[in-house]
Amino acid sequence: MPSFLSIVGLAAAAASSVSAGVLPRANTASVTPHEQYSSSVGVLGCLINTNRVAYWPSSVDCNNICVELTYQGRSLTVLKIDQSGGAYDISYDAWNQLIFGQPATVQPQQGGGVSVQWQYVDNSRCSDLLHNGKLPLSAANSMNYVASCLNQPNSWVAKNYELINLLDPVCHWGWNEVCNLNLKVSNQASCPHQLGDPHPSGLTVNNIQYGTGKIVAAL
């Protein structure tokens, strides 16, 4: 039986495989549609493509955030930025496009889990889903995640995050402005306006309604 240390070592090697340039082989999962945008680490939905998000059982780490999905010859990439309770969920529009070949706004479908192949790929493959290639995070509410990634200075997130003075993943409150972080000075970001100011942002995150394909504002 392998020792605890050897198991930990294997797990760490697997987690860093993408950042080291060695991508793991494809897995298979029963993928289900997910309507409401969310992000457990505070990724801001108003600054990314919320129609291409993965809600995976594993925690969001600092390297593996881009997932390629393949089904019957069709492929697309999604951002792994939220942790589910056990399901392999993806945005409803991504599910519709992957399984049926049409956007959910054009030809909305309904159904449950479909077995698809998935694998982590280089994060550059998801650059068009991000904010100018950066992962936009809430300056007020993402610091635990940011700090964990900064403790891995060579990780992708440590080199490619951006802090924005918005309070919630659906961007209702705060200011759409970039903040700076200097941990030698403070463990809080410095922003043009007060950090965490509950100012109505005027921004909207939209969801695509399951089964109808209608675009509705996130609550």
Tally of structural domains, the chain: 1
Query: Is residue 2 in a domain?
Result: no
Query: Is residue 126 in a domain?
Result: yes
Query: Is residue 114 in a domain?
Result: yes
Other C-beta atoms closer than 10 Å to the C-beta of 102 total 14
Range of the domain at 63: 27-219
CATH of the domain at 50: 2.40.40.10
Query: Is residue 5 in a domain?
Result: no
The three-state (H, E, C) secondary structure of 147-161, written as one string: HHHHCCCCCHHHHHE
- Give the mean pLDDT of 4-26: 44
Structural tokens at position 185: 């000075």
Using pLDDT thresholds of 50, 70 and 90, give the confidence band for residue 14.
very low
Is the pLDDT assigned to residue 1 strictly greater than 50? no
Rounded CA separation 60/149 (Å) = 11
Please write the tens of the pLDDT for every residue from 92-128.
999 999 999 999 999 999 999 999 999 999 999 999 9
Using pLDDT thresholds of 50, 70 and 90, give the confidence band for residue 19.
very low
Using pLDDT thresholds of 50, 70 and 90, give the confidence band for residue 10.
very low
Look-up of token digits 């109505």: 200
Query: Is residue 135 in a domain?
Result: yes
In angstroms, the Cα distances linking 88 to 69, 113, 196, 216 are 11, 9, 32, 23
The pTM for the full model equals 0.87
Using pLDDT thresholds of 50, 70 and 90, give the confidence band for residue 24.
low
Query: Is residue 54 in a domain?
Result: yes
Q: Tell me whether residue 31 is exposed, middle or buried, using C-beta atoms within 10 angstroms of its C-beta: 0 to 12, 13 to 18, 19 or more.
A: buried
- Give the mean pLDDT of 215-219: 96
**Angle, alpha carbons 20-24-28 (nearest 5°):** 155
Structural tokens at position 133: 């290639």
Rounded CA separation 88/175 (Å) = 32
Average pLDDT, the chain: 91
Structural tokens at position 215: 């675009």
Query: Is residue 21 in a domain?
Result: no
Query: Is residue 17 in a domain?
Result: no
Please write the tens of the pLDDT for every residue from 157-188.
999 999 999 999 999 999 999 999 999 999 99
Rounded CA separation 179/191 (Å) = 4
Is the pLDDT assigned to residue 53 strictly greater than 80? yes
